[in-house]
Structure 1
Amino acid sequence: MIDAVGSGTSLQSLPTEILINILSHLDEKDLYAVQATCKHFRDIINDEELWKNLFVSRINTRLFPSFSRSLKFSVEYVERNRGLNEWRHNRAIKTRYTVATQNQYNQLEQMVFDYPRCACYSDGVIMLVQLHSRRRKDRLTYMPCTTPHGCSTMHFNINAAVFGRFDGRVFGKLLTNKSHLCPVTEFNAMHRSCVTAITTAALEDSSEDWCVSGCESGQVIWWREAKLQKSLQISNKPILRLALHKDWTVAVDSEHICIVQKMDTILRLDIPSNLRRSPNQIQFFKVDFGGKLLVLGDTTEIYVISIDVDQDFGHTRSLRFENSVQNVFIDEATAKRTQDASIAGGDGCFMGILTADNSVHTVNIRTPGSNLSIQTKLTFIDEVHVAQINNLVLVCAFSGSLGIFDAANGSELRVVRKTEKTPQFLGVSHGRMIVGSGNVLHFLQYAGLEDKQKKTGSSQVTRGNKWNEVLHSQLDLYNEDENSRLQEQKRLEKLRRKFLGDVDDEETQLRIALMESEAAAANFPFSAMKESSTEPDEELLRAIEESKLSFENSLASDEQGEDLELLRAIQQSREEEESRRTSRRSQRRMAPLGELVGSSSIEPQSNRQEQRANPVCLQSQASEVSPDQHRHFEDEELELAKALSLSELN
């Protein structure tokens, strides 16, 4: 054994209290290694005081909600760390559910998550999801549930949906029997005045469905299976809040808290003076039936009042907050379970308070003493839309992400990305979460250690199925992001067309002009046919002819400049030929007449023109004349060819 520094004593010889304090700073795996060294360390590590100190060093208290329900702190410590590691390391399988409502624009109004069931309510329809079902098509059950006309208050849980009307009538729909396919039915009795509060009991171990309602005149009625069981006049003021669990009923009016046991015994407490000033100041109402505690509060102060008739009845503790309280949420599963103070941690119950500065406070409301203390406080930069807590973790829903934290000390376990942009609903169970927005729910399930053991001994097919589920979940996330991107693009395009329509866009103007011209061209023949079905349109023909002439003139003007030099050369050649012709004519007049016998050298002008127009005739005449006459005809043919060329150019 290693000796202590500066002394001859060994570590083993130190007092037990000091050794417990030293070993309480080690991790669980280090403790297992130390206990294998000797019997003395093994006895110390198996001492429950060491594990109590481990909790103190980790979460600064020995009082906390139990996770293992064990009497030993050592078992609770090991099981608690195992549960936290499941949240921290396991991969989540995500399943998406779209709730079909009567109107596509309707959204979910309430959501209740009690694994393995989840119930959602929207005006006109209830969807019940069996999350443990293997076949997906068997998971969803739709039930008609139209809200009665004139409804003044309602309550919805995993077992039933109940409604109270302004005329004192009560309606309900049970979800636990075969009547869930029937419409909303009316109960067999009614209140004397408007129903102001109503609630149901969600009991897993009970085969009967109970409901309690209160009215404006202070009357409270208990119902079982839509039938009246008992009626009591417990106040002369309107009943504001009601809670029911087994044999206990809590009713709150503007001045008193009434605790009714077995629908008979009535106990009363005064509401704290700050909340008694105005009934509207009771913003938050929660009941921990397991610890017999009532939580009341407004936007500045939260009160925890004991309703245990056997101990500390009426004892009140409070917490005041500088920032406005936005929401109060409690560990519902622990609140329904009777407290057992003998188990490790004292079987506490966590409550969370969300304030306006984006801070979430956790409080163990079952901690004994005269004051309440905040166990953890987490402040965030991003807005916290909704939060939930259980006996192990605190979950906060942000825009597009989920934060999972250790509820006992506030340490971050993991962050889940690509979730709802504006989450409205959040439910938490161990290893499972449901987050929803609008009419879409996402169920996230984290694989446990048993699943890992099954996976180790299973075949490759099981692994492939697991991979396919993860792949499909990732594809669903991608499709959601792509659809949101396309919707945002369409929205921006619509805004651009609406607000930027007057912007000078050349391409847009050209398209408009082209569309108008095409429409005019398409409508033109029909209008012309209406005016004259037999005669052609003279204006159109005239316009076409003028266009043709203008086109030919433009072509002639273009060619005129190119052929100007050629025309000048032909004109000069023509003038020279005319002078030669004049000289020859004068010579023929002076020649003897006998040289021209048998020929007609002197011809009328009309004959010469006919000869120019008929070159074949000229050739036949040239064979019968003298050489001088032959040259004369050749000159005339040349002159005719030039004249024809000039006429073609013109």
Structure 2
Amino acid sequence: MANREGNTLKFQELPTEILIHIFSYLDEKDFYALQESCKQFAQIINDEELWKNLFMSRIHTRLFPSFSRSSKYSIEYVERNRGLSEWRHNRAVKTKYTVATQNIHNQLEKVVFEYPRCACYSDGVIMLVQLYSKRRKDRLTYMPCTTPQGCSTMHFNINAAVFGRYDGRVFGKLLTSKSYLSPVTEFNNMHSSPVTAITTAALEDSSEDWCVSGCEAGQVIWWCGTKQRKALQLSKKPILRLALHKEMTVVLDLNKIYIIQNMENISTLDVPADLQLSSAQIQFFKVDFGGKLLILADTSRLYVMSINSDQDFGFTRSLHFPNSIQNVFIDEATTKKTQDSMVAGGDGCYVGILTRDNSVMTINIRTPGSSLRIQTKLTFQDEVHACQVNNLVLVCAFSGTLGIFDAANGAELRVVRKTEKFPQFLDISHGRMIIGSGNVLHYLQYADSDVVNRKPNSSQRNKSIKWNEVLHSQLDIYEEDERSRQESLSRANLLREKFVGDLDDEELQLKIALMESESLATEQVEVNEDELLRRAIEESRLSFEGNQLIEDEPDEALLLALRQSQEEEERRRTARRAERRMAPLGEFQTPDMSVSSQVEVDTSFNEVSTENTFLTGQYGHLNHDEEMELARALSLSELR
């Protein structure tokens, strides 16, 4: 590179402004190498102007919502990229919650998500979810909350559910109370006309629960707990909308806007003329308490009005949309924080607009100037069912799909599939999301909650803790459904193994048949022939004693053999009697006639008798024992 005199210039000798402009097109990781090359580059990289130019080159503005709450653009840039990287790369830990209502067909009416708590309302029950709890049984708390009869309006947030009736009475239930089973309580006073608007304040740093209600006659009452604290008659027209945060209350009727400080100091503004036609003309009502701005909208125009009594009070900006406005949503977490213009980006606040042509736009309503400017615009082919925005990302829920985008420039971060087919509820808080429909909620976690508390030498321990959290969260999705299925399957397996089993399972049937065969073989080996014979004799004796008749007639050949056997036995007995008569008495008692020979004779007799007894026992004749006794009696009588 040469100058006008023809001398060569080094890259380091370029003006600082040009170097900053060139460096603004580099990535953050390139700066670490540049600052090590020379001191001049290190000074430029540490210059805040470079980091401001980085925002200009990427999101085309230096005004945006703060993520790090730091006054340095360098810190904001690094922290912002880290937060976007978590949404882009972190694993989505999903937990499913099914809200059990009194009627299974009832659906959730309201869902409020402020991490680490989520509250769901359905007619008759409130479910409070403590998401930081490790055990699932400690997370869910069910509280009865039956809607009072004649209810004309209600409001529900993380701290309370309040109801207004047509007769002017006000009811409420505090969710911060330990008595979860207590019923809805009536407040100690009432309006003179039907309640037309009611709201509560969810204050984390306050021990008191505040509520404000308005009626058809223009009266406004502040309540603390269930007791009236203040009442004001503001107008003679019905109160349409209310908003409350700390000491500021915003009240809207058909013609006027009332900004009330500390329930006493009242400032008024006129409602834009286009919105005064009817009470249904105002479709959307949002309040940015941190920036002291009021957002009103109908179906075609958005108004942003300053309600800061100390600066630009009543200053109004508007923006027209050619397509009908379907929804207006705001970064709720930012609206509750007081704006600090000294932080990087000016501490802006995003408002999102969904139009009929499935276009989603974001606007930084805290940007100074006389007009509103659209920060990002995304148009989709698929129908957008729900949208939410915070200081970092824009989330759009489609049928079965969830899109996450950079809220500052619209860049796609990730697409989550297999979500709700018709999503009704969507909310985001601290890098986490709630999406649901009907009575089912899905809690998705992308942010790494251990980044801040991570210690240098505890990487393995933190990985283990994170893995356990992921594992338990994944198991919680199917824990209740799978438990009953596993129990029934286990019972079926036990019954199959204990009894016959599944007839279609060939392998199991072969195993059972083999076991039965081995058992039968063992029994056959153990039971000898004598035992089988004894069992047969015993059965024959029982049959004879019980006078059991057989069904089939005996065979003639068998009867003939039986008679021949009896005749042969009778001849043997006669022959033995004759021999004993002829033999001398002393010869019978000689030593040759030993006990062993007598036992041998008796044994032979027993063999014949046993065979005959087995036959006669089946056909009603005498058994073996009776024949033995008879033979012995005859022998003894003959010996005498």
Name the TM-score, length of structure 2 as normaliser: 0.72
Q: Quick one: which amino acid aligns to residue 263 of structure 2?
A: M
Distance 1:170 1:473, change over 3 A: closer
Q: Is the 8 A contact 1:93 1:473 kept in 2?
A: no
Tell me the equivalent position of 1:382: 382
Aligned partners of 1:84 and 1:380: how far apart in 2? 22
Q: Larger Rg: 1 or 2?
A: 1
Deviation at 1:449, TM superposition (A): 7.2
Deviation at 1:179, TM superposition (A): 3.5
Tell me the equivalent position of 1:631: none
Q: Is the 8 A contact 2:87 2:447 kept in 1?
A: no
SS at match of 1:20: helix
Aligned partners of 1:72 and 1:196: how far apart in 2? 47
1:313 pairs with 2:313: yes
Q: Quick one: which amino acid aligns to residue 71 of structure 1?
A: S
Tell me the equivalent position of 2:194: 194
Name the TM-score, length of structure 1 as normaliser: 0.71
Distance 1:403 1:279, change over 3 A: same
Distance 1:475 1:418, change over 3 A: farther
Deviation at 1:468, TM superposition (A): 3.5
Tell me the equivalent position of 2:369: 369
RMSD: 2.2
Tell me the number of residue pairs that the alignment of Structure 1 and Structure 2 aligns.
Answer: 479
Deviation at 1:446, TM superposition (A): 1.9
Tell me the equivalent position of 1:265: 265
SS at match of 1:181: coil
SS at match of 1:238: coil
Q: Quick one: which amino acid aligns to residue 310 of structure 1?
A: D
Tell me the equivalent position of 2:128: 128
Tell me the equivalent position of 1:33: 33
Q: Is the 8 A contact 1:237 1:254 kept in 2?
A: yes
Deviation at 1:178, TM superposition (A): 2.1
Deviation at 1:463, TM superposition (A): 7.1
Task: Please point out which of 437, 457, 460 is paired with 1:457.
Answer: 460
Distance 1:249 1:447, change over 3 A: closer
Tell me the equivalent position of 1:217: 217
Identity of aligned residues (%): 71
Q: Is the 8 A contact 2:115 2:430 kept in 1?
A: no
Tell me the equivalent position of 1:61: 61
Distance 1:7 1:282, change over 3 A: farther
Deviates more, 1:425-434 or 1:376-385: 425-434
Deviation at 1:342, TM superposition (A): 0.4
Distance 1:457 1:422, change over 3 A: same
Distance 1:464 1:147, change over 3 A: closer
Aligned partners of 1:178 and 1:227: how far apart in 2? 19
Q: Quick one: which amino acid aligns to residue 210 of structure 1?
A: W
Tell me the equivalent position of 2:82: 82
Distance 1:463 1:141, change over 3 A: closer
Distance 1:76 1:38, change over 3 A: same
Deviation at 1:35, TM superposition (A): 1.1
Q: Is the 8 A contact 1:351 1:365 kept in 2?
A: yes
Aligned partners of 2:163 and 2:261: how far apart in 1? 24
Q: Is the 8 A contact 2:432 2:447 kept in 1?
A: no
Runs (4+) off by over 6 Å: 2-6, 473-479
Aligned partners of 2:354 and 2:337: how far apart in 1? 24
Q: Is the 8 A contact 1:395 1:402 kept in 2?
A: yes
User: Cα deviations across residues 420-471 of structure 1 (Å, max 9, x unaligned)?
Assistant: 1110001101221110110000001125173696884129965763564476
Tell me the equivalent position of 2:328: 328
Q: Quick one: which amino acid aligns to residue 414 of structure 2?
A: R
Tell me the equivalent position of 2:581: none
Distance 1:387 1:241, change over 3 A: same
Aligned partners of 1:73 and 1:204: how far apart in 2? 29
1:435 pairs with 2:438: no
Deviation at 1:477, TM superposition (A): 14
SS at match of 2:18: helix
Q: Is the 8 A contact 1:4 1:10 kept in 2?
A: no
Tell me the equivalent position of 2:583: none
Matches for 1:112-261 after TM superposition, within 5 Å: 112-261=112-261
Q: Quick one: which amino acid aligns to residue 254 of structure 1?
A: L
Aligned partners of 1:303 and 1:216: how far apart in 2? 25
Tell me the equivalent position of 1:499: none
Distance 1:116 1:298, change over 3 A: same
Aligned partners of 1:364 and 1:477: how far apart in 2? 44
User: Cα deviations across residues 461-517 of structure 1 (Å, max 9, x unaligned)?
Assistant: 6576356447647878999xxxxxxxxxxxxxxxxxxxxxxxxxxxxxxxxxxxxxx
Q: Quick one: which amino acid aligns to residue 468 of structure 2?
A: N
Q: Is the 8 A contact 2:97 2:477 kept in 1?
A: no
SS at match of 2:37: coil
SS at match of 1:97: strand
Q: Is the 8 A contact 1:188 1:228 kept in 2?
A: yes
1:406 pairs with 2:433: no
Aligned partners of 1:138 and 1:4: how far apart in 2? 73
Aligned partners of 1:276 and 1:134: how far apart in 2? 51
1:24 pairs with 2:24: yes
Tell me the equivalent position of 2:497: none
SS at match of 2:179: helix
Q: Quick one: which amino acid aligns to residue 104 of structure 1?
A: I
Aligned partners of 1:477 and 1:321: how far apart in 2? 48
User: Cα deviations across residues 288-334 of structure 1 (Å, max 9, x unaligned)?
Assistant: 00000000010000100000000000000011101100000000000
Aligned partners of 1:127 and 1:7: how far apart in 2? 76
Deviation at 1:279, TM superposition (A): 1.8
Deviation at 1:4, TM superposition (A): 9.0
Aligned partners of 1:239 and 1:153: how far apart in 2? 12
Q: Quick one: which amino acid aligns to residue 419 of structure 1?
A: T
Deviation at 1:200, TM superposition (A): 0.3
Aligned partners of 1:404 and 1:390: how far apart in 2? 11
Q: Is the 8 A contact 2:136 2:476 kept in 1?
A: no
Aligned partners of 1:270 and 1:38: how far apart in 2? 61
Distance 1:233 1:464, change over 3 A: closer
User: Cα deviations across residues 11-46 of structure 1 (Å, max 9, x unaligned)?
Assistant: 111111111111101000101211111111111111
SS at match of 1:85: helix
Deviation at 1:401, TM superposition (A): 1.1
Residue segments in structure 2 that go unaligned for 5+ positions in a row: 483-640
Aligned partners of 2:91 and 2:385: how far apart in 1? 24
Aligned partners of 1:240 and 1:219: how far apart in 2? 11
SS at match of 1:179: coil
Q: Quick one: which amino acid aligns to residue 227 of structure 2?
A: K
Aligned partners of 1:473 and 1:401: how far apart in 2? 22
Aligned partners of 1:471 and 1:370: how far apart in 2? 50
SS at match of 2:254: coil
Q: Is the 8 A contact 2:350 2:362 kept in 1?
A: yes
SS at match of 1:103: coil
Distance 1:23 1:168, change over 3 A: same
Deviates more, 1:91-100 or 1:453-462: 453-462
Tell me the equivalent position of 2:444: 444
Q: Is the 8 A contact 2:196 2:238 kept in 1?
A: yes
Deviation at 1:180, TM superposition (A): 3.1
Deviation at 1:113, TM superposition (A): 0.2
Distance 1:472 1:24, change over 3 A: same
